[in-house]
Amino acid sequence: MSPIPKPGRDGVRTHVLLITAMAIVMVVTMALLVVLVRERFRAQATADLSLNLRRSVIAFRDLQQDRFDALERENSLLASLPTLKALMTSGDDLTIQDGAVEYWQLSGEDLLALTTPNGRVISVYSKVPEKGTNLPSALSTLVAQPARRNIVDGKTLYACSVRPIYFGSDVSGTILGYVISGMSIERSVRQISAPAGAEAAFLSGGRVVTSTLSASAQQNLIAQLGPLSGASLSPAPLALGGDRYMAAVDTLSSVDSSPLQLVVLKSVRPTEKWIARTDRIVLSAGLIAVLVGAICMVILGRVLTRPLEELSRSVRAFGAGDGAYRVPRYGTREVRHLSSAFARMREETQRANQARLESERLATIGLMASSVSHDLRHYLAAVYANAEFLASDTLPPDERAEIFADIRSAVLGTADMIESLLIFSRTGSSVRYAEEKVVPILEHALSLVRAHPDSQHAIFEKDFCHHEDLIARVDGKQVERAVYNLLLNACQAGLIAERVPHVQLSLRLSGDFFIVRCVDNGNGVPEAIRMRLFDPFVSEGKQKGTGLGLTLANCIAEEHGGEVVLVSSSTGETIFEIRMLISPSAGPGAADANQKGSHALVH
């Protein structure tokens, strides 16, 4: 069975292409899925965060309103107490200040103040240890501006309720003064920030009044008040102290001299951690899916492509001459149909080749018979006629010798023709390589050609200069036969041109080859036979011969790793070269040419 040639660089294997394409599709799909899921989660998380912020602001607003309503009710009850009215009728500031302590403690609020009808503050009591210097003036402003609810004392923000104290009924009585109750909003900030997981800050007059933020974060918040000023209940991104927040702003009071704003902030770090965790989960699921898909594709690819690969090997084996290589009979329906079609095609091709070979063999036999029959009949006729002459007793000795020479020439020609046919039939099967000197082989071939009748008047010129010691690993008899055929063809070419044959034989080296060149002075090789010059039984212009000379010479050269080449051909000069490999074990003549040589002109 012939060895199956290995595939060269003839493209990507089918299962590799399938797996690669599927892996690329899956990776791209998973990447897009991760991006889409991430962006979807981010948008949803941002929307949820914004909604929570708005709800926190609304919850704080409702809480403040409830607390303020309670403060209003408590302050209304306090202003209607008869004892407080009696205290305010005394008109003495010290008496009022001493008596107000009891009512401040009774109210339990963070701030309590009593003022005259014109707004002058008589007494102020606050749970804040250090009161600001502008607290009395701020309280007086509340009396002058009933719609105002909030005042700032240092770093404390109060939501205040102002109620008049009447002597008599509230409709027709006389105003004795005002009682002001206030509650610190800082407690509200803690109440809203703790359960909501958010930070809160109150801004007034371009500064932070109270906040759950650190001092550095408060400074950053002040620096970014501009973008937040118009973002009422619309969350906006904010960066404070290396952390990112979403912030919502609500204006609590716009009628105060310094409008009061509530800023609720929620860190996006938990959301980003959740998104990152989700990304890892989705990515891990995607990688697992890609891995499982790749394994499935490997299995599927092998199932689908293995019969195709075996079919491809069958095709290559058939191309290499192995017609018995197994054709796969399994796989998908299409592969089985293809295998069956290829098997039928292979059988038909083998039958057609067998028929063609038989036809070519018969044609070759016919061509050979046609080529040699004339020469054989010529030689046999010469032998038969001259044998009849020899049978006569009246022939003188000189004529008998001449007739015997003709018979001998005809017999030798017949033997030579038969030997050529035998060599042609067994070329390559009896080659015996040995290390031999090349020049003696060429000399012996020359001597044999000189003995041939077609070279009786030929002029031979040889040039083996510098290569007398060349040793090559060859079959000497075969090489001699090849050179002999070239020399004989050269002599016959001169005779056909009706010239005295002039033949030049030379030897030279070229790399790993030795080259024997033969030059004749004939008319050249006709254009009609140059393309099939080395085919058997091809000749032009010869009256005798089998047409095997160049064919045998080329076959022998190929067996020695070379070839016979027609270098040039024109009227008066035709050059043939026999190129053969020198064995690696050749003697020194192959690497270092001897300076001795011979150049002679022989007649």
Specify the residue for token string 């160049």.
550
Give me the pLDDT at residue 576, please.
92
Report which of 450, 458, 453, 442 is spatially closest to residue 522, judged by C-alpha positions.
Answer: 458
CA distance 103 to 81: 10
Report which of 455, 433, 555 is spatially closest to residue 505, judged by C-alpha positions.
Answer: 455
CA distance 525 to 530: 7
Contact predicate 196/57, CB 8 Å: no
Tokens of 488: 């004989």
CA distance 531 to 524: 14
| 578: amino acid identity, one letter | I
Give me the pLDDT at residue 585, please.
42
pLDDT in tens, 199-232: 777 777 667 777 777 777 776 776 666 555 544 5
Q: What residues of the chain score a pLDDT lower than 50?
A: 1-5, 7-8, 230-231, 427-429, 543, 584-603
| 445: amino acid identity, one letter | A
Element (H, E) at 463: strand 459-463
Calculate Rg over the CA atoms of the chain. 61
Phi first, then psi: give them for residue 265, nearest 5 degrees: -120, 140
Tokens of 336: 């089985």
Judged by phi (left if over 0) then psi (alpha if -120 to 50, else beta), residue 545 lies in: left
DSSP SS3 for 385: helix
User: DSSP readout, 218-254?
Assistant: HHHHHHTHHHHHT-BT--EEEEETTEEEEEEEEEEES
- Computed from CA positions of residues 224, 226, 229, 235, in that sequence, does the dihedral angle turn out positive or negative? negative
Give me the pLDDT at residue 460, please.
92
Kindly report the average pLDDT of the chain as a whole number. Answer: 76
CA distance 531 to 391: 49
CA distance 453 to 468: 29
Contact predicate 516/472, CB 8 Å: no
pLDDT in tens, 342-356: 788 888 888 887 788
CB under 8 Å to 305, separation ≥6 — which residues?
13, 14, 15, 18
pLDDT in tens, 138-166: 888 888 887 777 887 777 778 888 999 89
